[in-house]
Amino acid sequence: MCGIFGVYNLPGDANGFRDRALYLSKKLRHRGPDWSGCTVAGNHILCHERLAIVGVESGAQPLTNEDDTLILSVNGEIYNHKALRKMVPADTHFKTQSDCEVILHLYKHIGTDVVKHLDGMFSWILLDTKKNRILAARDPIGITTLYQGWNSKQPGTIYFASELKALNEECDRIIAFPPGHIFDSETGETTRYFEPTWWNGDRIPTNPVDYTLIRESLEKAVRKRLMAEVPYGVLLSGGLDSSLIASIAARESRKIFSNQPLNKQDGDEVDESGVQAWPRLHSFSIGLEGSPDLKAARIAADFLKTVHHEYTFTVQDGLDAVADVVYHLETYDVTTIRASTPMYLLSRKIKAMGVKMVLSGEGADEIFGGYLYFHAAPDAASFHQENVSRVKNLHYADCLRANKSTMAWGVEARVPFLDKAFLEVALNINPEEKVFDKSRGRFEKYILRKAFDTTDDPSAEPYLPDSILWRQKEQFSDGVGYSWIDSLKETTEQRISDEQFAKAADRWPKDTPKTKEAYYYREVFEKWFPQEACTESVVRWIPREDWGCPADPSGRAQKVHDAAYTQ
C-alpha cells in the first residue's frame, strides 16, 4: 500500500500550490517511504508516497498512459491484475509491471465500470485530462483508508487523501470516503458500485453450511494475497483467525515453491512471484510477558514450522506509545486504540526486519459472530443482521486499525477473510448454523473451526492443533495480556480528575466520553486534530447495549469469557 493525495480544480495556478501539496503529501510518507511523486495537470495535482510491493523497479506513481492524458495515483493491490490485462487490446502499451497500471487502460475502454472488475484492496484517484474529470474509488469493505475534503472558501475544489492528517489544515469539512463507492466529478455524485447479494441484512439467508466451500474459498483468498516481490509474513496472535491464515499461507507457500499443483479453479489467476523470494513463512507475535497470545502463538508456530519472531512489550512501552497511536489512527474509539497499540509496536519490529507485507486475520469475528457479545443475540435473524452491520462498518474499526497500525511503519496488511468471494459464501449461510448452542457443543465461529477440522479423515494433514483450532475467542487487546487494558484504565483514572470528567459533556457535546479512559483518548485526539471537521469521520464502537451487553468493549467484560471481570 501507499499514500495518495490529490486536489481537483484548484483556483488559480496549480503550480503555485505544488510546494504546499508536497508538504501535505509528506504527512503520508510513513505509508510510502520508498519513493515520492507529484504530477500537476491544469489546475489539478496528484501526489503519491510509494511502498513498493509489486513492480518494485518500475512502478513509481502517479502512473500515466501512453500520451499522459490519464493520470492515476493508487494505494493498494489489485490481485487479479494479470487477468485484467487480458481485457484490454493486445497492443496496449504498459509502461510498468505495476499491478495498478491496468486501471488506467481498462478505464479507457469501459469507463467507470472499471471499478467493478477490480479484485483487491484499493483507494485511487484518476484524472482524465481530456474530459477535465476526476474519479475516486475505494475498495468494497474499506480495507484501505481514504478521506475526501472541501474548503468553503474554495467552492468547486475537492481534496482527497489516504489519511486525515493531510487534509485537516486545508479543509473545513472532511468525511471518510465510503467503501464500495466511486466519485465522478462529471456528475458530482458518489455512487455505490459494490452490490453483493448479502448487502441487505434484512434478507435472512437460508443456504446450508458447506464446510468444503468455506475451506476452499478461504484457501483461494489467502493464495491470491501471496502476490509480492518483497519479504512477507503473517501476524500470528495464536487465536483461531490468524492461525488459520498462517496455516493456509504455509501450505500454499510450500505448494508454490515446490511446484506442486494448486488445485486452481476456473478464473483463479494467481501471481506466484512472492513465494519465490521468501519460501519459508515468517510469523510475528507480540504480548506482555507471559500473555495468553504469546503462549498460543508459540504452539501454532511450532506446529506450522514457521520462522517465528516473538516480541514482548511492557505496559509502560504501550502507555508511552498511545499518543502516537492516536495520531496515526485518527480516532478516539476506545477499543480501536486498545488493540492498535500492540499492533503498532509489533509493526515497528516487523519493519526493522525488512518485511513489507503481512497477512492478518481481521474480519472473521464480524462474519461469523466471533465476538463474545454475540452470545447475547436474541435470535438468528438478529445475529445475521449484526454480522452484516459489523462487516459494513469494519472501515471504522478493525480495517482502520489494521491499515493504519501497520502503515505507520510502511508495512502492508492483507486480510483474506474480507475477500469478496469469501464474503459471498460466508454471509449467505443460514445464521442458525452460526448461533451458539451449548447443547450441540457449538460456540463462537463453530462452522469456521469445523471447516478446518480434519479429525474425520486420519489421512489428512491437520491445519492446526486442537488447542488452537478450538481455543476460546480472545480479543487482541485482551490476548496480549490482561494487565494491558487494566493498566490503561488505572492510568487514565489517575490522569483525568473527577472535576475534568464531570465537565466532559460541556467540552464535547457530541460523542461525550463515558469513561475517563475515553476522555483521555478524546483529549489526545484533539491535540493532534483540533479542527472541528476532524470528528466527522470518527465512529465509536461498543457492544449491543440493547442486547444487555456491558458498555466496555473488552471480551473479558462478557460473562461467558473464561476470565471474565468479576462484578
Go through the domains of the chain in sequence order and give each one's CATH number.
3-192 (3.60.20.10), 211-557 (3.40.50.620)
Each of the 567 residues of the chain gets a pLDDT tens digit; together they read: 799 999 999 998 899 999 999 999 999 999 999 999 999 999 999 999 998 888 777 668 999 999 999 999 999 999 999 999 999 999 999 999 899 999 999 999 999 999 999 999 999 999 999 999 999 999 999 999 999 999 999 999 999 999 999 999 999 999 999 999 999 999 999 999 999 999 999 999 999 999 999 999 999 999 999 988 888 999 999 999 999 999 999 998 888 766 665 555 544 555 555 555 566 789 999 999 988 889 999 999 999 999 999 999 999 999 999 999 999 999 999 999 999 999 999 999 999 999 999 999 999 999 999 998 998 999 999 999 999 999 999 999 999 999 999 999 999 999 999 999 999 999 999 999 999 988 888 889 999 999 999 999 989 999 999 999 998 765 544 567 678 899 999 999 999 999 999 999 999 999 999 999 999 999 999 999 999 999 999 998 877 889 988 777 655 555 554 554 443
For 362-403, give the secondary structure using H, E and C: CCHHHHHCCCHHHHHCCCHHHHHHHHHHHHHCHHHCHHHHHH
- DSSP assignments along 300-368, one per residue: HHHHHT-EEEEEE--HHHHHHHHHHHHHHHT---HHHHHHHHHHHHHHHHHHHTT--EEE--TTHHHHH
Which residue in the block uniquely carries the three cell numbers 476506545?
A: 334
Distance, CA of 395 to CA of 541 (rounded, Å): 12
Q: Which residues contact 39 (CB under 8 A, 6 or more apart)?
A: 45, 46, 47, 62, 64, 71
Tell me which H or E stretch contains 64. strand 63-64
Q: Which residues contact 485 (CB under 8 A, 6 or more apart)?
A: 338, 477, 478, 554, 556
Distance, CA of 362 to CA of 391 (rounded, Å): 10
Distance, CA of 325 to CA of 327 (rounded, Å): 5
Distance, CA of 561 to CA of 564 (rounded, Å): 5
What's the pLDDT score for residue 549? Answer: 85
What's the pLDDT score for residue 471? Answer: 84
Q: By the 8 A CB rule, do 14 and 33 touch? A: no
- Give whole-number Cα distances, 251 to 219, 281, 395, 449, in Å: 9, 9, 29, 17
Residues 201, 203, 206, 207, Cα dihedral to 10°: -60
H-type alpha helices, 439-475: 446-451, 466-469
Judge whether 286 is annotated as a binding position.
yes
- Give whole-number Cα distances, 456 to 218, 461, 466, in Å: 20, 11, 13
Distance, CA of 326 to CA of 408 (rounded, Å): 11
User: What's this model's pTM, rounded to 2 decimal places?
Assistant: 0.94
What's the pLDDT score for residue 115? Answer: 98
Question: Which of 349, 374, 347, 329 is closest to 475 using CA atoms?
Answer: 374
- What's at 258, amino acid-wise? S
100 catalytically annotated: no
Judge whether 226 is annotated as a binding position.
no
Distance, CA of 239 to CA of 369 (rounded, Å): 15
H-type alpha helices, 64-139: 81-85, 102-110
Q: Which residues pair with 178 in a beta bridge?
A: none
What's the pLDDT score for residue 55? Answer: 73
Question: Which of 276, 336, 313 is closest to 540 using CA atoms?
Answer: 336
Q: Which residues pair with 363 in a beta bridge?
A: none
Distance, CA of 340 to CA of 398 (rounded, Å): 9
Judge whether 235 is annotated as a binding position.
yes
Question: Which of 457, 502, 479, 518 is closest to 237 using CA atoms?
Answer: 479
Exactly one of 2, 399, 534, 549 is catalytic; name it: 2
Provide the CB-side half-sphere exposure for 456 (13 A, CA).
Answer: 5
